[in-house]
């Protein structure tokens, strides 16, 4: 069971990440994918602040919903993988840190991502290689609920179950929205739980913003089964005018709105 001091530490880490994400979005002077980055902050804070061993070298993390990269960048910055100079170049000409992740081992970025539906396949390959080499480390992935419309997700899901990849854990960030609107009833939170269970995964639903639930589910393993944590989240979490407002899937922060967002935090 996680100690209250550890929960507070992760909460503090998450708050710092939200501030960094908003600062990067504002200072770049361009529209950015903000809402989907903020919805997965607690998941990333729990992974990078509490769970993963030596991320990028022992345990591995793959952001499959690449448009949520502001959340990843903020975690990497707070952990010291990215410098202040790196953060300052976000979405500027010639930058290595753009609107979707580009593989950069120095900065802790495991995979490039543009088109959705690719990250789980890569994670399955890494997990299978770990198994064959008897490597004890773990692979973690975040997918979006809208991303799960991609057929390649389910091809990888079948393979992971068939290969008994119990060293693979995914989170499905169920914030209920994608680029062009709400996800359908067939991809809503409850249906997502039954879908992953039906594909042979150890499936655990939770509130994606409650750190004790996230930690408990991360510790709940079943031998021979990959794990899917289906996380109910709020797009734009932490900023009142962004929450559940799909206008902030991709939008630009003015100085006034940035200051309002920081006051909300």
User: What was the pLDDT predicted at 181?
Assistant: 85
Chain position carrying tokens 């120095």:
106
User: What was the pLDDT predicted at 114?
Assistant: 79
d(CA 254, CA 260): 10
CB 116 within 8 A of CB 64: yes
CB 72 within 8 A of CB 24: no
> In sequence order, what E strands does the chain have?
60-63, 139-144, 168-174, 177-178, 181-182, 202-207, 227-232
User: What was the pLDDT predicted at 164?
Assistant: 98
Flag residues of the chain having pLDDT under 50.
Answer: none
3-state secondary structure of 141: strand
d(CA 114, CA 156): 18
pLDDT in tens, 125-151: 999 999 999 999 999 999 999 999 999
- Dmax of the chain from CA atoms? 54
In three-state form (DSSP H/G/I as H, E/B as E, the rest C), the secondary structure along 221-237 is: CCCCCCEEEEEECCCCC
The model carries a pTM of 0.96
Number of structural domains the chain divides into: 1
User: What was the pLDDT predicted at 180?
Assistant: 84
| Domain span at 153 | 4-264
User: What was the pLDDT predicted at 142?
Assistant: 98
d(CA 255, CA 234): 24
What CATH number has the domain bearing residue 129? 3.40.50.970
């Amino acid at each position: 069971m996680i100690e209250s001091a550890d929960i507070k530490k992760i909460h503090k880490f998450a708050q710092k990440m939200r501030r960094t994400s908003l600062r990067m979005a504002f200072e770049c002077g361009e529209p950015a994918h903000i809402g989907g980055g903020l919805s997965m902050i607690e998941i990333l804070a729990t992974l990078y602040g509490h769970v993963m061993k030596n991320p990028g070298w022992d345990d591995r993390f793959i952001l499959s919903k690449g448009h949520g990269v502001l959340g990843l960048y903020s975690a990497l910055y707070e952990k010291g993988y990215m410098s202040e100079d790196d953060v300052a170049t976000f979405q500027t000409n010639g930058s290595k840190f753009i609107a979707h992740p580009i593989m950069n081992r120095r900065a802790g970025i495991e995979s490039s991502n543009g088109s959705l539906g690719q990250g789980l396949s890569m994670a399955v390959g890494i997990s299978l290689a770990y198994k064959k080499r008897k490597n004890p480390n773990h692979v973690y992935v975040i997918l979006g609920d809208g991303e799960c419309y991609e057929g390649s997700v389910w091809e990888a899901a079948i393979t992971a179950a068939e290969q008994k990849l119990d060293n693979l854990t995914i989170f499905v960030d169920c914030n209920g929205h994608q680029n062009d609107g709400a996800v359908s009833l067939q991809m809503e939170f409850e249906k997502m739980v039954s879908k992953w269970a039906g594909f042979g995964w150890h499936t655990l639903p939770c509130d994606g913003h409650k750190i004790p639930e996230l930690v408990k589910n991360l510790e709940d393993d079943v031998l021979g089964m990959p794990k899917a944590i289906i996380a109910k989240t709020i797009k734009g979490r932490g900023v009142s005018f962004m929450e559940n407002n799909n206008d902030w899937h991709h939008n630009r922060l003015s100085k006034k709105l940035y200051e309002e967002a920081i006051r909300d935090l």
